[in-house]
Chain A
Amino acid sequence: MKEFKIRTQDLTLFYGEKMALNSISMDIPEKEVTAFIGPSGCGKSTFLRTLNRMNDLIPNVSITGEVMIDGVNIFDKQIDVVNLRKKIGMVFQKSNPFAKSIFENVAYGPRINGINNRTELQDIVETSLKKAFIWEEVKDRLHDSALGLSGGQQQRMCIARTLAVEPEIILMDEPASALDPISTAKIEELIFELKRNYTIVIVTHNMQQAARVSDYTAFFYLGELIEHGKTRKIFTTPDKKQTEDYITGRFG
C-alpha cells in the first residue's frame, strides 16, 4: 500500500456567495498519477489550485476544511506559502513562458532561491530539460527567447522549469488541452516517466487521456466529488450512475 501524499478533509470553497467545492475529502497517493475529470465548472481546477494555495490570489475566496500535505495542514498559520509552492510545482493550461531565454526560464526558480553560481545553474537547467525530454531539441539555442518555441515545446519547457525547483508534487491543469496530438503524446509519455519520482495530479477534459495516463481518477460534478478510485475501475465498473453517464458521454 502506497503512502498518501495529499489528504483533504471536508474541503469547502466559496467564491463570494457561490459554493465552488462542497466538502471534498480525498486521499491522493504518493508517486502515482491522479486524474480529475468532470464537466466544465465542476470544481476540478478550483480543487487543484487549492492544493498549492493558488486561490489565495483571488479576492473573496473563503475556504474551510483541511488540506494535509505530508501530514501538515497547508492552511496552518505557520505555513510559509512560498515554501509550500516550491514543494508543489504547477503546470498551466496555456503554456506561460516568461519573455526570457530558455535558459533563464528554467533557471528562474533556482535563481529566486538564491542559486547564482553559473556552473550550478547550467547543471540544473540541463538536468531539468533532460527530464522534460526537450534537451535535444533546445540544447543549441538555450539563449534564444523561449517565445520562439512551438506550443508543445513551450509546455515541456514549462514542465522543465517546474522540475528545476525540485518539487515533490506536480499539479497539471489541462496541460495538453491547447496542443496537437503529437505534442500531447509527448506530454503523456513525460507524465508516465515523471510519476516514478513525483506525485502527479492532472486535471483533464479528455477522458481518453485520463484513462491512458492516470492510476487513480476522481470524478467531480457541481462542486462535489462523486467518485474516486482506481482508474481501471472508474472507467469499467464505476459505482455511481453519474460517473458512468459522464464517462460514456451521456452528458457533459
Chain B
Amino acid sequence: MKKGNRKRIIGGIFTGATGVSAFLIIAIIILILVVIILGGKETFSWEFLTAFPEDGMLKGGIFPAIYGTAMLVLIMSVAAVPFGTLTAIYLTEYAGEKSVLAQTIRFAVRTLATVPSIIFGLFGLGFFIRFVGTGMDTVFLGGELKWGQPNILWASLTMALLTLPVVIVSVEEAIRAVPRELREASLALGATKWQTIRNIVIPGSFSGILTGTILAVSRGAGEVAPILFTGAAYYLATLPASLSDQFMNLGYHIYILSTQSSNVDQTLPIQFATTLVLLLLTFVLNFTAVIIRSGIRKRRAK
C-alpha cells in the first residue's frame, strides 16, 4: 500500500516534469516575442523600414541593412539552389542508393550541415578572398586590389556553402516524392533518363526546390558569422551597386548597435525594432516552407 503510493507519487512528479518542460518551451518563445515586440513597436514604422540610419546610427531607419540582406540571400540563392538541386538529382537519380559514392556524398552533406558557422566565415576569408579574390586581382588586374577584399559576392558564396545542405535535403525529399509510376510511364514511352528527369522529375519536385530555397533564404538571412569577415560593413552611406561592394546586414547591424555604438542605450529601441524585422522575416519564410513541405508529404503519402 505504502509502496504503491510512492510509485504513484514518483509517476506524478515525472509526468509533471515532462509537462513543465514542454510548457517552458512555449513560455520562452512567447517571452522572447513579447519582449521584442514591446521593445520595438514604438520605433517600428514604414519610415524605419525605408530610411537610412542617421546621426551615427543613433536615429533613422535600417533600409540599407534590409537591402543588403535581400541582396545577400538573392545572390546566395542563385549560387546554392542550382548547385544543391544538381547534387540532389545526382544523389537520387544517378548514384546507386547504397553505393559508396552516394554514402560519401551524404556523409559530406551531413558534415557540412554541422560545421559551426564561424568556420564558414574563416573559410570564406581564406578561400574566396585570399585565394580566389587575390588570385583574380593578380591575374586580371595586375595586382590592383578589387576582388581580394570583403564584398557581397564572397559573403553570398560563403553563405551559399552554409545553406547548401538545406537545399540538398529538401530537393532530395521532393524528388523521392515523385511517384515511380510517372518515371516508368515516361521511360516506357521511349524517353531517355535525362528527358524523364527534365520533363517529369524536376517539374514534379518544383515545390521541394521552392521549399529548399525558402529555408535556405531564411537561414541565410539570420546568420551573421559567415559574413563577418567576408563582406558585411559597419556603416555605408550608399547601397551596394556591384558585386565587389560591401553591404550592410540586419543581423550584423544588431551586433554593431549593441556592441560598437557610441551610445548603446540610445540605440536600444532600434535594436529591438531591427530584431523584430529579422524575426518576422525568418518566421514568415519558415512558415511558408512548412506549408509547402506538408503539401509534398501529403502527396507522397497518397
Contact = CB atoms under 8 A, between A and B. Distances in A.
Contacts of B42: none
A108 B189 contact: yes
Contacts of A96: 179, 181-182, 184-185
A222 B180 CA distance: 26
A90 B183 CA distance: 13
B200 interface: yes
B56 to A, nearest CB: 56
Given A92-B184, A96-B181, A161 B189 contact: yes
Interface in B26-80: none
Interface stretch (B191-199, B220-228, B259-267): B191-199
Interface string A38-74: 0000000000000010100101000000000000000
Given A94-B181, A99-B204, A85 B187 contact: yes
Consensus secondary structure, chain B interface: helix
Nearest to B98: A59
Contacts of A162: 188-189
Contacts of B189: 85-86, 89, 108-109, 112, 161-162, 165
Contacts of A158: 185
A85 B190 contact: yes
A82 B190 contact: yes
A99 B187 CA distance: 16
A112 B190 contact: yes
B243 to A, nearest CB: 38
B186 interface: yes
A238 to B, nearest CB: 32
Interface string A137-163: 000000000000000000000100110
A116 interface: no
A196 to B, nearest CB: 22
Contacts of A92: 181, 184-185, 188
Given A99-B204, A112-B199, A57 B184 contact: yes
Contacts of A54: 184, 187-188
Contact of A112 (B179, B182, B191, B204): B191
A159 B179 CA distance: 19
Interface in B129-188: 179, 181-188
A251 B183 CA distance: 35
A145 B179 CA distance: 18
Nearest to B198: A112
B182 A109 contact: no
A91 to B, nearest CB: 9
A92 B185 CA distance: 8
A94 to B, nearest CB: 6
A155 to B, nearest CB: 12
Contacts of A161: 185, 189
A6 B103 CA distance: 41
22 contacts: A52-B188, A57-B183, A57-B184, A59-B96, A82-B192, A83-B190, A85-B189, A90-B184, A90-B188, A92-B188, A94-B181, A96-B182, A96-B185, A108-B186, A108-B191, A109-B189, A112-B191, A112-B195, A112-B199, A113-B190, A165-B189, A165-B190
Ranked nearest first, the 6 interchain pairs of A and B with the lowest CB-CB distance are A86-B190, A90-B188, A96-B181, A109-B189, A96-B185, A85-B190
Given A96-B182, A96-B184, A162-B188, 14 more contacts: A52-B188, A82-B190, A82-B192, A86-B190, A88-B188, A89-B188, A92-B185, A96-B185, A98-B200, A99-B204, A112-B190, A112-B191, A165-B189, A165-B190
Interface of B: 96-97, 179, 181-192, 195, 199-200, 203-204
